[in-house]
Chain A
């Protein structure tokens, strides 16, 4: 028998992403250039959105040596007018993988700023050039950094740091990377074009390597309301999440009255005479293991308050804020609220955490979750088979699992709060569609918020027909959290829903000039792959997409049938104009007349009166 010694090395996040870069969309020079553009543009737009700034984003791609054949190094620069980043944070933000500010439950284009760092990393390994970050948070001074990433240590290396005076706030990031613009160009132009459709309040310009300039000025002056960070919805919860919430939650405050003090004194085996704080603690330490939980809690509290029994009698505990390590109490003597800090390293702190029972279930539900009121909480407790006053801290593992299941199955919760979502809004979307396609018909809908696995989402959809739209439709423009999705459309849920629609039913036939714009907003888009290009077919999302599409399709059908009637009337008028003169000619000779009959009346009447019900070939006779 031989034993194999395995060596385990901890690898840094940078190293991990370095070796798995194709996961994040950096598989080849074409895709990488496109992905890098996306990451920086989206970061710029997110930064502006969060501060309510109308974004001006300027994208520049320049070949280092224009005469070289693709793939070759390009300099990619994205400038914005956003809030900028503090000089202190810049090295970490751009020189570390998994550093970012976008945590929390709300809708944003990207998460954790991961993609941008990946792009920087990709640039560095393909061209060995540093990233240049220029940032001004005050519109007066600008910090200019040149950074490299230490891949093994996952730490930034500052190559150069200077400051200069500027007149505008904002961030500019510039990287050098190997790319293939001749192949990626189409997608990048599409990306910029489609982004400006879903971000009508942004001005986006793009200077491409061939010297072409693409400019998409904003045509909506108002930013849609920014998303807020919110509590989770019960349908989106799992056991682990509940466990963490219980740990995070504030604890039940024991009432310290005369009886309680008496109990503590008794349990410590102390006589009625006064004892100093130090003496009490000394005694408690010795007898700790024999003390009941309630007494332990009181002792723990006393340890932070540094009070003896006499002083303890004159205060009332108000709040124990475990996460913030603060103990609040009301001093009857001074008639004011006071607080002391708790040392999280002390054994008493742990005692408080471990022993306090936690909130009653109903309080836990109403306080920790969105959109649950006391009545619903009680109803739910009954449904789940828990006492409403059941303390969260006393739940067994099995009970936790039961609670989690019940939370997901209970149907009387209100729909998830969608304030954490930032849909574009029906009006700007319609404006965008009309501006981009100049259609004969357009309709948009914003579905009410819904949830899959507890993650709220909203479907916005638009449909347009005719005008400048190319034939061969439906052409589908897919968006998720205001990002256009350009690749891998074959396996996308939106395409699935569109393809399953029988357009003939909606009077859309042949190769129609027809587009569909679909926007899915969610705190978490269920992408099929890390490349963020296609959305998985969750039944809840599929259902909402279908409902949105059906609603719009019915509107389209109504339009099409009107259009069809008008077409028919026109066609009929043309037919009359073509055939009636012939009939007149033939019957004139047949009837042996010289002059043709006055048939103009019929034709003229029917050009004007173009709504004419078709007279069917009616069978007359006796059966």
Chain B
């Protein structure tokens, strides 16, 4: 019996690590086929070239079905014959080559690492923004997020709650971890992003914009009181966090709600979790279309008599910009944006502290969770 369980579990582990293996194998196959094409071109005395979907503004369109921005059908040829493109062509080749090594060895690196690693191969990048740009090129060509190539951003957000995961990264394969054991939360890095989601008792995911409030929520045991997994997005949610949110929603069937500051940027943080950003229009699988923004709304400012600060010029400009965005044309998105513009004032999550430190978790959150059900 015991043996059987072990066997069963072993099978499960095998299945999971097989899943990771399959993913790795697919990535490597794809990179190999790109490499082989270039190899053959060169061997035939031809300048290699490939096509990259255009990421220019006029090729970014909103897809209503997918409920996110996607790239249109425009593409550009990048040719090694063109001396103006030769350098970026070589940079991209190097990146593919480097990503291939990373994937094979299951090693992770950061955007900054990439910038420095290039120098060992006589590939110069002017600055990190140039290397970052080439990374986006690789994503666009392969339609895979950089995380699939083991390239991660610096920024880290964190997670806390009753969620059991199982690592797939080398050296930790099969090791399990419950994410409610450490009150500071767990940082959402490469190992967490690639881990299998095994089990949870939570019924909802609460994404919150700020680290301070995240700590408060842990202290106030929001995870237990509201059966939730708490995620600190640390401002605009990084892609790995958005991927995790999506997986929690899809694999664990958990609804996702988002709590942000009561301003136009907060509103947009929620929107990006829900339907992605124009910057990542070349990628799918980064959105949680069913995610709900529950606050802080502009209407909450009046409703809860929150202390406010005036909007800046750029806040107001951002409001007008978003009014043109197709996703802000109806519902709560449009309504709240209009109210922000009317008030010309904003309120932070911390504003609730005026009514006591636990006011937000005791009063505001329950009301919003209730409201979320009807949204």
Q: Are A582 and B47 in contact (CB under 8 A)?
A: no
Bound Cα distance A591, B36 (Å) = 4
Instruction: Output the nearest chain A residue to B58 by Cβ-Cβ distance.
Output: A623
**Distance in Å: Cβ of A575 to nearest Cβ of chain B:** 5
- Interface window among B93-101, B224-232, B353-361: B93-101
Instruction: Output the nearest chain A residue to B81 by Cβ-Cβ distance.
Output: A615
Q: Are A590 and B79 in contact (CB under 8 A)?
A: no
Q: Are B89 and A583 in contact (CB under 8 A)?
A: yes
Convert B34-68 into 0s and 1s, putting 1 for each residue whose CB lies closer than 8 angstroms to a CB of A. 11101110110111100100100000000000000
Partner of A584, one of B42, B45, B76, B78: B42
| A/B interface sample: 27 pairs, CB < 8 A | A568-B83, A575-B86, A579-B90, A583-B38, A583-B48, A586-B35, A586-B94, A588-B39, A589-B100, A589-B101, A590-B36, A590-B96, A590-B100, A591-B35, A592-B32, A592-B35, A593-B39, A612-B81, A615-B79, A617-B82, A619-B76, A620-B51, A620-B74, A621-B54, A621-B72, A621-B73, A623-B73
Convert A555-599 into 0s and 1s, putting 1 for each residue whose CB lies closer than 8 angstroms to a CB of B. 000000000000010011001100110111011111111000111
Q: Are B80 and A580 in contact (CB under 8 A)?
A: yes
* A616 and B82 contact, Cβ closer than 8 Å, known pairs A590-B32, A591-B36, A621-B54: yes
Q: Are A576 and B86 in contact (CB under 8 A)?
A: yes
Convert B187-222 into 0s and 1s, putting 1 for each residue whose CB lies closer than 8 angstroms to a CB of A. 000000000000000000000000000000000000
* B75 interface hit (Cβ, 8 Å): yes
* A617 and B77 contact, Cβ closer than 8 Å, known pairs A586-B94, A591-B35: yes
* B123 interface hit (Cβ, 8 Å): yes
CB-defined contacts of B76 to chain A, threshold 8 Å? 617-620
User: Within residues 132 to 190 of chain B, which ones have a CB less than 8 A from any CB in chain A?
Assistant: none
Bound Cα distance A575, B93 (Å) = 16
Residues of B within 8 A of A (CB): 31-32, 34-36, 38-40, 42-43, 45-48, 51, 54, 72-87, 89-90, 93-94, 96-97, 100-101, 121-123
CB-defined contacts of B74 to chain A, threshold 8 Å? 619-623
Partner of A579, one of B43, B45, B51, B86: B86
Q: Are B96 and A579 in contact (CB under 8 A)?
A: no
* A602 interface hit (Cβ, 8 Å): yes
Q: Are B90 and A590 in contact (CB under 8 A)?
A: no
Q: Are B54 and A579 in contact (CB under 8 A)?
A: no
Partner of A583, one of B72, B84, B90: B90
Partner of A580, one of B42, B100, B123: B42
CB-defined contacts of A584 to chain B, threshold 8 Å? 39, 42
Besides A575-B87, A605-B45, A614-B83, 18 more A-B contacts (Cβ < 8 Å) are A576-B83, A582-B90, A582-B93, A582-B121, A583-B93, A586-B94, A586-B97, A587-B39, A591-B36, A598-B42, A598-B45, A602-B46, A615-B82, A617-B76, A617-B78, A618-B77, A620-B74, A622-B74
* A289 interface hit (Cβ, 8 Å): no
* A601 interface hit (Cβ, 8 Å): yes
Bound Cα distance A18, B82 (Å) = 73
CB-defined contacts of A599 to chain B, threshold 8 Å? 42-43
CB-defined contacts of B54 to chain A, threshold 8 Å? 619, 621
| Count of chain A residues with a beta carbon within 8 Å of a chain B beta carbon | 35
Bound Cα distance A169, B77 (Å) = 80
Q: Are B82 and A590 in contact (CB under 8 A)?
A: no
Bound Cα distance A298, B75 (Å) = 105
Bound Cα distance A592, B96 (Å) = 13
Instruction: Output the nearest chain B residue to A606 by Cβ-Cβ distance.
Output: B81
Interface centre among A580, A582, A587 (most CB of B within 10 A): A587
Bound Cα distance A618, B81 (Å) = 13
Q: Are A571 and B93 in contact (CB under 8 A)?
A: no
Bound Cα distance A590, B72 (Å) = 29
Which 4 pairs across A and B sit closest by C-beta, in order of nearness? A590-B35, A586-B97, A597-B43, A591-B35
Partner of A589, one of B35, B75, B123: B35
Q: Are A589 and B73 in contact (CB under 8 A)?
A: no
CB-defined contacts of B72 to chain A, threshold 8 Å? 621, 623
* A590 and B34 contact, Cβ closer than 8 Å, known pairs A583-B48, A597-B39: yes
**Distance in Å: Cβ of B141 to nearest Cβ of chain A:** 13
Convert A292-324 into 0s and 1s, putting 1 for each residue whose CB lies closer than 8 angstroms to a CB of B. 000000000000000000000000000000000
CB-defined contacts of A615 to chain B, threshold 8 Å? 79, 81-82
Instruction: Output the nearest chain A residue to B85 by Cβ-Cβ distance.
Output: A617
CB-defined contacts of A617 to chain B, threshold 8 Å? 76-78, 82, 84-85
Bound Cα distance A601, B123 (Å) = 23
Bound Cα distance A589, B100 (Å) = 9
CB-defined contacts of A579 to chain B, threshold 8 Å? 80, 86-87, 89-90
